[in-house]
Amino acid sequence: MPTLLILNGPNLNLLGTREPEIYGRDTLEDIYRGLRETFPGVEFQTFQANGEGALIDRLHEARSGVDGVVFNPGAYTHTSIALFDAIKAVGLPVIEVHLSLPEAREPFRRHSFITPACKGKIAGLGPLGYRLAAQALLDMLGESP
Ligand code: DQA
């Protein structure tokens, strides 16, 4: 059974109530449930942290037992060379996901430090982006759910 890590960065624990006009009304738990319903043959590990170090540590831990990572780095997308380095260091396939379309928002969201370390990127499609990213990883891994 393939194992995917769903990794979420700062402030995403507040999904559901956080700026719903931008991020929608689904909570992280709703997003996780949607993934498990869509891909019953996949083991999902989930982790959310507000701190950069915890996200880096979780990526390191994923070297053992995880086949691919769906990663929404939140605002660290636009600031974190350390997360770029961590993705490169662990060598796992990572798909970057954003609920909103950062490029269509404030200018400071237009640059991602994360993208060059990733296999792909999905943005602006809300929770569907997580499911599309999981599907892409499964395709890359040669798994057909
Ligand atoms: C986000 C976009 C980021 O710019 C922002 O800082 C977030 C959420 C998204 O999912 O749309 O926290 O990653």
pLDDT digits 0-9 by tens, 22-57: 999 999 999 999 999 999 999 999 999 999 999 999
pLDDT surpassing 90 at residue 145: no
The SS3 of residue 125 is coil
The secondary structure of 75-112 as a DSSP string is GGGGT-HHHHHHHHHH---EEEEESS-GGGS-GGGS--
pLDDT (0 to 100) of residue 116: 98
pLDDT surpassing 60 at residue 141: yes
Mean pLDDT of the chain: 97
pLDDT (0 to 100) of residue 144: 65
Residue 111 designated active-site: no
Query: Domains of the chain by range and CATH?
Result: 3-140 (3.40.50.9100)
With a 6 A CB cut-off, is 77 part of the ligand 1 pocket? yes
Task: Please report which confidence band the pLDDT of residue 143 belongs to, taking 50, 70 and 90 as the band edges.
Answer: confident
Task: Give the position, in ligand 1's atom list, of the atom nearest the Cα of 124.
Answer: 11
pTM of the prediction? 0.97
With a 6 A CB cut-off, is 50 part of the ligand 1 pocket? no
Question: Can you tell me which residue has the tokens 């350390």?
Answer: 82
With a 6 A CB cut-off, is 99 part of the ligand 1 pocket? yes
Whole-number percent of the chain with pLDDT over 70 = 99
List 78, 98, 111, 130, catalytic entry: 98
With a 6 A CB cut-off, is 72 part of the ligand 1 pocket? yes
Q: Of 19, 21, 113, whose CA–CA distance to 71 is shortest?
A: 113
Amino acid at 121: K
Residue 76 designated active-site: no
pLDDT digits 0-9 by tens, 81-100: 999 999 999 999 999 999 99
Task: Give the position, in ligand 1's atom list, of the atom nearest the Cα of 72.
Answer: 13
Task: Give the position, in ligand 1's atom list, of the atom nearest the Cα of 97.
Answer: 10
With a 6 A CB cut-off, is 18 part of the ligand 1 pocket? no
